[in-house]
Amino acid sequence: MAISGRKEKILKAVVERYIVSCEPISSSEIRDENLPELSSATIRNELAALEEMGYLAQPHTSAGRVPTAEAYRLYVDKLMPRKKLSSKELKLVKKYFSGKITEMDDILKKSAKLISEITDLTGVAVSHGIKDAVIENIKIVKLAEKLALVVIVTDQGVLKDGFVELEESLPEDYFAKASGFISSCFRGYSLKEFDKPNKIIKNITREYERLFDVIYKLIRDYAAGNMNCDVVLEGSTKLLDQPEYATVDKAKTMLELLETKDQLVPLIDSGSGVSLNIRIGKDENGADMPDCAVVSASYSVGGVNIGNVGVIGPMRMNYAKVVSVLDYIGKAIEELPSAKDAQNKAENENNETVATNDEEVISDEQKQE
């Protein structure tokens, strides 16, 4: 339902003041703090009209007004201003994503923790099952006399790295040849196919048989434990600090929601085609849901969707700040290395490790001489 410009200004003032105070907003507050050019009588009439239209509610006859779910929806769709994060918050975002990230799940976990820390709400991350991830390359690097590092790269990034203990010392060129051969065996297969070994095992020579078996088991075991959506919650107890969940019944309802994966995943996982999704109230979250709001975003690395991150809180949340945090995190994630960049970085780091080990061996030999 369309409303006039004056009503929009008044409604915007009510929503923003209520988000901060969690107390019913009176006409005198709006006049004194937001719209001094309007009389109290005019504001009262407009508040009554907005209540009639379903945008406001009056808890008590003598009290001020509070926004309804419809008011919050109009606010986020049309009236909400863009908000910049503080320099302290921007530094925090940069800090979270400046360290080494070797697996896609790490990105989502960091995002959920970060958004909870900045917004003081519950951060939620839903990682997509990795069953469709496709093996692109496998790099095997010698670390010590009988120890090698295996880096497994998929189209979603560095899937997994692990160590392989060797029965004997092998030359460097063995690992280069083994990497090429084993990569050719696995390349192009999705992780869901690793429960069908006969489809993948082909022409394995005795020379690389042990490495193949170890790497196959490494991928299979990892895939078996990560096939389905995984949910990460950060700051669950922060919801209990909100006045809306001060009663035992409301707190219990919200905590039960956070523990129910089947209900939680559809709220956050809005699909890879939706960059930002805001659900407000029971009508948008489901009849069995408490009066809450869910704001989520879909994130990608190197053009590959890795999952969704969002927040759950009362309808009276600071939407402008939440949206800004999600936006800034999304930009930080987009700047992370793609799968091939991650592979190259891993290879460089591994080469440096090998060089260091060689130097230590030479140094030890010199000492013995």
Q: Point out the domain boundary residue: 227, 243, 277.
A: 227
Examine residue 64 and state whether it is found in any structural domain, yes or no.
Answer: yes
CATH of the domain at 295: 3.30.450.40
Are residues 167 and 301 both part of a single domain? no
DSSP character at residue 192: G
Are residues 93 and 212 both part of a single domain? no
Dump the DSSP string for 85-123: PPHHHHHHHHHHTTS---SHHHHHHHHHHHHHHHHSSEE
Domain that holds residue 160: 131-227
H helix runs in 162-208, sequence order:
172-186, 197-200
> How much is the average pLDDT of 230-245?
88
Residue 43 Rama label (left phi>0; alpha psi -120 to 50; beta): alpha
| Model confidence band, residue 291 (pLDDT cutoffs 50, 70, 90) | confident
The pLDDT, as a whole number, for residue 230 is: 75
Residues 223, 191: contact at Cβ < 8 Å? yes
The pLDDT, as a whole number, for residue 265 is: 80
> Among 207-216, 251-260, 270-279, 333-342, which stretch is predicted with the lowest mean pLDDT?
333-342
Q: CA 321, CA 327: separation in Å to the nearest integer? A: 10
Residue 62: is its pLDDT beyond 90?
A: no
Are residues 113 and 152 both part of a single domain? no
Q: Point out the domain boundary residue: 168, 203, 227.
A: 227
CATH of the domain at 192: 3.30.390.60
Residues 134, 124: contact at Cβ < 8 Å? no
Residue 66: is its pLDDT beyond 80?
A: yes
Are residues 195 and 156 both part of a single domain? yes
> Among 74-88, 249-263, 352-366, which stretch is predicted with the lowest mean pLDDT?
352-366
- In angstroms, how far is the first alpha carbon of the chain from the final one? 89
Residue 87: is its pLDDT beyond 90?
A: yes
Q: How many domains does the chain have?
A: 3
| Model confidence band, residue 250 (pLDDT cutoffs 50, 70, 90) | confident
The pLDDT, as a whole number, for residue 253 is: 84
Residues 309, 106: contact at Cβ < 8 Å? no
Q: Which of 54-68, 98-112, 192-206 has the highest mean pLDDT?
A: 54-68
Q: Point out the domain boundary residue: 79, 107, 139.
A: 79
237 or 318: whose pLDDT is higher? Answer: 318
> How much is the average pLDDT of 343-349?
50
The pLDDT, as a whole number, for residue 65 is: 95
Residues 309, 123: contact at Cβ < 8 Å? yes
Q: CA 250, CA 253: separation in Å to the nearest integer? A: 5
